[in-house]
Amino acid sequence: MLSNFYDKAYELEKAFRESDDFKTLKELSDKVNADPASKQLFDSFRSVQMELQQKQMSGQQLTEEEITKAQQQVELIRQHEVIGKLMEQEQRVSMVINDINKIILKPLEEIYGNEQK
Amino acid sequence: MLSNFYDKAYELEKAFRESDDFKTLKELSDKVNADPASKQLFDSFRSVQMELQQKQMSGQQLTEEEITKAQQQVELIRQHEVIGKLMEQEQRVSMVINDINKIILKPLEEIYGNEQK
Ligand SMILES: [Ca+2]
Ligand SMILES: [Ca+2]
């Protein structure tokens, strides 16, 4: 039973890897990484986002200035042709992964009566 | 491709539901719920744990008293015959789910070069 469960996980991983959604994500990511200027822009964007997230998670309030700056940066980076597409694709893939998680965790939800249902 | 991906997720969900690990979890959980005293004990244990977790996540420090009390409660509840087993089984299932997630998300890790590898 257990081995069957892992087999199915590997099949799902393969199907994910071969999906259009993942392939598109990979292509866009490779494109960004292949161009040093784009890569630097995206890396610096990510590290600012991560920094703010960690600040929030540690219970600190973000300043108005930090929020405005972060929003401006998101707007700016969305207009970058390749990075904008990459970000859209990341969002799509993360929605798919969410769906998949909900499907797989349904049995647990039935036990714990999770209200997210 | 996408539909294949979802099909595989449903197959995995079925395999999880039919696994010994899940069945044991369900049996133990049903057993605890069927006995009002056990259920109340476990529910109250859970709500204390959740409360402390939320306090931590909001960036507040736990007091020494809260930590000691929580640890004592864990020790006490582990000695409850059925609840103790249920908690062990929850831990085992959560490890399995973690493994599965790592397998499925491997393609993303390869893109983002996640250091957890
Ligand atoms: Ca088995
Ligand atoms: Ca497709």
As a whole number of angstroms, the distance between CA B86 and CA B74 comes to 13
Give the A-side interface with B, CB within 8 Å.
1-2, 4-13, 15-22, 25-26, 29, 57-60, 93, 96-97, 99-101, 103-108, 111
Work out the number of other CB atoms within 10 angstroms of the CB of residue B40: 10
How do the domains of chain A map onto residue ranges?
Answer: 2-112
Higher pLDDT among residues B92 and A116, named by residue: B92
What distance, in Å, lies between the first and last C-alpha atoms of chain A? 27
Measured between beta carbons, which residues in chain A are less than 8 angstroms from residue B18? 1, 4
Length of chain B: 117
The pLDDT assigned to B27 comes to 97
Over residues A13-68, the pLDDT tens digits come to 999 999 999 999 999 999 999 999 999 999 999 999 999 999 988 878 899 999 99
Over residues B62-92, the pLDDT tens digits come to 999 999 999 998 998 989 999 999 999 999 9
Say if the Cβ atoms of B13 and A108 lie within 8 Å. Answer: no
Instruction: Compute the half-sphere exposure of residue B67: CA atoms within 13 Å on the CB side of its CA.
Output: 6
What does the DSSP assignment read for B55-100? Answer: HHHTTPPPPHHHHHHHHHHHHHHHTSHHHHHHHHHHHHHHHHHHHH
> What is B2-112's CATH superfamily?
YheA/YmcA-like (1.20.1500.10)
- What's the mean pLDDT when you consider all of chain B? 90
Measured between beta carbons, which residues in chain B are less than 8 angstroms from residue A55? none
The pLDDT assigned to B85 comes to 96
The complex's ipTM works out to 0.79
As a whole number of angstroms, the distance between CA B59 and CA A58 comes to 5
Handedness of CA A99, A105, A110, A113 (dihedral sign): negative
